[in-house]
Amino acid sequence: MSDTRKFFFYLLILLGTLLILATLGSLVADEQWWWVKVLDFPRIQVLIALVMVLVLFLLVQKDRDRHMDEDRYITRDREDKGGIWKASFIVGLVAAVVLQCIYLYPYTGMAEEQVGSVAEEAADPDATVSVLVVNVKMHNRESVGLLRMIDELNPDVVLAIEPNAWWEDVLEPVDEKYAYGMEHPLGNTYGMILYSKFPLRDPEILFLSTDSVPSFHTGLELPGGRTVKFHGVHPTTPFPSGPGTVEDREVALVKVGQMVTNTAVPAIVAGDFNDVSWAQRERLFDGAGLLHDTRVGRGIYPTFGAKNPIMRWPLDYVYVTEDFGVVALERLPDFGSDHFPFYAKLSLKP
């Protein structure tokens, strides 16, 4: 075997080993250790890399075996030992592929929908609400595309995440179109603005874990008279780069889960969760099992990484209680932010 082939062969072994270790580390995904938690994010990318390494290794190994068969000085003992570690390596790659698929499978069209679908013509317009979640990215200055998108889509509720005073001014045309709203712009990337066509009932701006990270909580009175609870959230990141700590982030989502449990009315939880959809959302929402991911059974809808087509994963969500069905779910086009807007049209069950 040439030196180039040997280098490529051992490079595949190194990459494969790192990918296997990354997969095993991602099983922990501990919130307290951000450097382990980060392994939970690129599951799609790791899966693709694992499959590539597996296929290339099998092809290279086949070629290597052919050359070794031609070398009459290779002993049976070396062949046996080599066969054991090669088989172990292949088994490790296959096991890692299976583990990644287990995490990603619910977010494919093959899995059962966690929130059932409702046909557009069957949805009661007086019991329907459309929600647009959009992380504007505080330092982004490309606003024209977003304003046009909101104007054309005309959602019932717009939750803008990361707005500062500049974005508050830029979004003034949206404010003029919506009769109701809540505003708390900030310069720390945790500001939030809510625009609503529907009357707000008992709106509250709460600071669930730290006084620099607001969350919105309000009733929405739908045209038919029914009221649903809306929770707009943007928890802190799992990395040591923002306000609060990873413990604060868990506390915030657990409190939202408790609020949903205690109010016992149809509820929507929307926002940028700063976490991937295959993370342990049920645990973070206090394990009550009342909130369901609109993505499950429909697709991954990666919303973060709008500027990077390779490193993308889902961070923006619309979770609902069992009272809702999904009329439409869509990741909208890039408008300049590092997040794609996420849109959901929901219908209350009779």
Task: Domain ranges for the chain, please list them.
Answer: 3-107, 120-348
Q: Is 318 exposed, middle or buried (0-12, 13-18, 19+ CB in 10 A)?
A: buried
Confidence at residue 116, expressed as pLDDT on a 0 to 100 scale: 97
Confidence at residue 85, expressed as pLDDT on a 0 to 100 scale: 84
- Residue 43: which H helix or E strand, with range? helix 43-70
CA distance linking residue 130 with residue 325, whole number of Å: 12
Confidence at residue 241, expressed as pLDDT on a 0 to 100 scale: 54
CA distance linking residue 131 with residue 346, whole number of Å: 8
DSSP code at position 239: S
Our measurement of the distance from residue 207's CA atom to the centroid of its chain's CA atoms, rounded to an integer in Å, reads 23
Dihedral of the alpha carbons of 329, 305, 246, 296, in degrees to the nearest 10: 30
Considering just the CA atoms, what is the radius of gyration of the chain in Å? 24
Contact call for residues 181 and 175 (beta carbons, < 8 A): yes
Cα dihedral 138, 144, 147, 149 sign: negative
Closest alpha carbon to 31 in 255, 237, 233: 237
HSE-CB for 68 with a 13 A CA cutoff: 16
Confidence at residue 174, expressed as pLDDT on a 0 to 100 scale: 97
Sheet with strand 292-293: strands edge to edge:
200-206, 215-221, 227-233, 267-272, 316-320, 292-293
Q: Would you give per-residue pLDDT tens digits along the chain (350 residues)?
A: 567 878 888 899 999 999 999 999 888 765 566 667 788 899 999 999 999 999 999 988 876 666 555 554 445 455 545 578 889 999 999 999 999 999 999 999 899 999 999 999 999 999 999 999 999 999 999 999 999 999 999 999 999 999 999 999 999 999 999 999 999 999 999 999 999 999 999 999 999 988 999 999 999 999 999 999 999 999 988 765 555 445 555 678 888 988 998 988 999 999 999 888 887 555 557 556 789 999 999 999 999 999 999 999 999 999 999 999 999 999 999 999 999 999 999 999 98
Reduced to 3 states (helix: H, G, I; strand: E, B; else coil), residue 46 is helix
HSE-CB for 49 with a 13 A CA cutoff: 18
Reduced to 3 states (helix: H, G, I; strand: E, B; else coil), residue 131 is strand
Nearest 5°: phi and psi at 178?
-110, 130
How many CB atoms are located within 10 Å of the residue 323 CB?
18
Confidence at residue 166, expressed as pLDDT on a 0 to 100 scale: 98
Nearest 5°: phi and psi at 296?
-55, 125
Residue 339 bridge partners (DSSP): 304
How many CB atoms are located within 10 Å of the residue 281 CB?
20
Confidence at residue 349, expressed as pLDDT on a 0 to 100 scale: 93
Contact call for residues 220 and 230 (beta carbons, < 8 A): yes
Q: Enter the pTM of the model.
A: 0.90
CA distance linking residue 35 with residue 32, whole number of Å: 9
Confidence at residue 249, expressed as pLDDT on a 0 to 100 scale: 58
Residue 316 bridge partners (DSSP): 272
Q: Which CATH number fits domain 120-348: 3.40.50.280, 3.60.10.10, 3.40.800.10, 3.30.499.10?
A: 3.60.10.10
